[in-house]
Amino acid sequence: MAELGIRPPGFRLPDSTHIDGVRLQVADVDRSVEYYQTVLGMQVLNRSDGHADLGAEADGRALVRLAEKRGARPVPRRGMLGLYHFAVLLPDRQSLGRFIAHLGEIGAYAGMSDHLVSEAVYLTDPDGLGIEVYADRPASTWRLVDQQLEMATKPLDVASVTEAAGGRKWDGMPAGTKIGHVHFHVGDIDEAARFYHVGLGLDKIVWSYPGALFMSAGGYHHHVAVNTWAAGAPKASDDDARLMDWELVVPDSDAVQAAAASVATAGFNVDRDGDVMVASDPWGIRVRLRS
């Protein structure tokens, strides 16, 4: 994989960079908590008035933070500029098989795809926010074609994945579950690349996929993807159910400062929130950089 992708022209994020969690604005936190518990199998880790943190109980780390805004508008069917989906990465294929069987048992509708590098299930929460739940195929099986990883959207072999569950029942998000990537609707791929690739320092991994760009650190298939499939739609506003921000973790404070300086040099605003640096892309999608 030494020749994978296109490196940014300046600052490059360290290989160990990863996503920690996402924060969502929802219209009814009780309704959302019920969905994330019942359908996704997350557990409530912290709860206060109008807020809830959820994750895999065994890890005790918040993957999804919910903030209630009564009257927040649901995401329209076409989507809005902002979140397309956040993606929950399960630790293995067996867990994905158990999850799919669970969805069948409770009668939850889901889309399903084989992306060659991963196998994925797609859902929509009560506010219309997109969710992917997926498992990676071993990196040794990923194929490189002209510096790009080979990715596609093919029908999922559901029988094969559920068979991998070995007959075990789904009992909630297992230890090792994390946020694997985030995927955004944007207005322009080149402008998005100026923020995420040139500024933030992600490698381009797949750039020939129609209307989309996939980027990552450390040779992963993607930590961030952007697409123009909702071009012409409005930006998500404070009055909408939306992604409020997502968190990117780097090894140390020097990397935080270097990433923030690179984003600023690329022409984007960066603010400080304690030890965290906060930057917004051209569509108001906020990333929190921390060590």
> Is residue 3 predicted with pLDDT exceeding 90?
no
Kindly report, residue by residue over 54-86, the tens digit of the pLDDT: 999 888 999 999 999 999 999 999 999 999 999
> Is residue 230 predicted with pLDDT exceeding 60?
yes
Distance CA 92, CA 155 (A): 19
**Which residue is listed with tokens 């500024």?**
199
**Which residue is listed with tokens 């789904």?**
170
Parallel, antiparallel, or unpaired: how do β-strands 144-145 and 148-149 relate? antiparallel
pTM of the model: 0.97
How high is the pLDDT of residue 2?
Answer: 54
**Which residue is listed with tokens 């070995």?**
166
**Which residue is listed with tokens 């939850």?**
108
Kindly report, residue by residue over 114-136, the tens digit of the pLDDT: 999 999 999 999 999 999 999 99
Average pLDDT of the chain is 97
Strands (E) located in 56-139? 64-68, 82-89, 111-114, 118-124, 130-136
Burial of 164 (0-12, 13-18, 19+ CB in 10 A): middle
Mean pLDDT of 26-41: 98
In sequence order, what are the beta bridge partners of 136?
A: 118
Q: Count the helix, strand and coil residues of the chain and give each as a percent rounded to the nearest 5.
A: 20, 35, 45
Distance CA 215, CA 233 (A): 23
What does the block give as tokens for 29? 């936190």
Mean pLDDT of 35-47: 98
Kindly report, residue by residue over 84-121, the tens digit of the pLDDT: 999 999 999 999 999 999 999 999 999 999 999 999 99
DSSP characters for 155-193? ---HHHHHHTTTTPPP-SSPTT-EEEEEEEE-S-HHHHH
Distance CA 208, CA 81 (A): 21
